[in-house]
Structure 1
Amino acid sequence: MGLSIKNDTVEALARDLARRHGTGVTEIIHRALKEKAEREAAEPSLWEKLAPIRERLRQAGKTGLEADKAFYDELNGEYER
């Protein structure tokens, strides 16, 4: 199974890093991808990061006010002239 890197900058980075670590390009790419996957698995998801905001919105409750469609239309550049 092969992997073709068609980006000169990426290839140079991989080769330089492999040289500095005294290993092959395949091994250095494996380590980099594994470390990235582990970092992403360890960090909270976007849903988890937004939990405090969702909770504040839930606690704020409804205002009872009606949404002003014209105001939102104007914000979105959809106002009529």
Structure 2
Amino acid sequence: MPLYIKDDGTARLVAEFAELRGVSKQDAVKLAVRDALDRAAEAVPLRERFAALRKAHRLPRATGDVADKAFFDELSGEV
């Protein structure tokens, strides 16, 4: 089934990519889509990335200090 690109800007990008890679426009589209699909398949979900960060960088133990307005005023010298 043919693929028609009706947007001039997209057609220019495909032509530029094809020239850069030294391939036909058809192969340029195929390469670009294959690369995008590969990156999407390899992408680690944000939830898993955050879980790995939390595991690698544990939070310090609770100090019992209350971080209220008075606490921040004292930190900034506004006692």
Q: Structure 2 length as normaliser, TM-score?
A: 0.56
Cα distance, 1:46 vs structure 2: 4.4
Give the aligned residue type for 2:6. K
Structure 2: distance between partners of 1:20 and 1:43: 26
State the Cα deviation string for residues 13-46 of structure 1 (Å, max 9, x = none). 1011111221100101101101111111111134
Q: Which residue of 1 aligns with 2:61?
A: none
Q: Which residue of 1 aligns with 2:56?
A: none
Unaligned runs of 5+ in 2: 53-79
Identity of aligned residues (%): 27
RMSD of the TM alignment (CA)? 2.2
Q: Which residue of 1 aligns with 2:13?
A: 13
Give the aligned residue type for 1:10. T
Larger Rg: 1 or 2? 2
Q: Which residue of 2 aligns with 1:45?
A: 45
Q: Which residue of 2 aligns with 1:29?
A: 29
Aligned length: 55
Q: Runs of 4+ in structure 1 displaced over 6 angstroms?
A: none
Unaligned runs of 5+ in 1: 53-81
Q: Structure 1 length as normaliser, TM-score?
A: 0.55
Q: Give the SS at the match of 2:4.
A: coil
